[in-house]
Amino acid sequence: MSNRKTTEDNRILSEMMEMAQALQGQALISKQDMARMNLICQHPPEYTSENVTLIRVEKAKVSQAVFASMLNVSVSAVQKWESPSSGKHPSGAAAKLLQLIDKKGLEAIVA
């Protein structure tokens, strides 16, 4: 992602949060909805291989194949994320899903 795109994304997210806070100040958004907005607008952290493995094994309690399917990525991608020597980290939607699983458990993405 280019710096320009990142800057634009950050500006949009910041404006969304300002608007949500203003609406909450007028009692038009509940605390629960505001908490959801905060979670949606947060950039996911960069996950290390240890973090990915811990989330998969301790939080999701699934195999690499099942985890890959849930995140809509290849098994190879999960294997690379979990390998310290690969230098690969989840990003984009996969990182956001990991963040949700880490904070809310597997139930957050499973219907």
Q: Tens digits of per-residue pLDDT, 14-62?
A: 888 888 889 989 999 898 888 888 877 777 889 999 999 999 999 999 9
Quick one: pLDDT at residue 5? Answer: 61
Token pair of 58 as six digits: 């301790």
DSSP 42-91: SPPPPPPHHHHHHIIIIII---HHHHHHHHTS-HHHHHHHH-TTT-----
| Domain map (residue ranges) of the chain | 3-41, 49-108
Give pTM, 2 decimals: 0.67
Q: Tens digits of per-residue pLDDT, 78-98?
A: 999 999 999 999 998 899 899
User: Rounded to an integer, what is the distance from CA 7 to the centroid of its chain?
Assistant: 19
Tell me how far CA of residue 48 lies from CA of 53, 90, 110, in angstroms.
9, 9, 23
Quick one: pLDDT at residue 41? Answer: 77
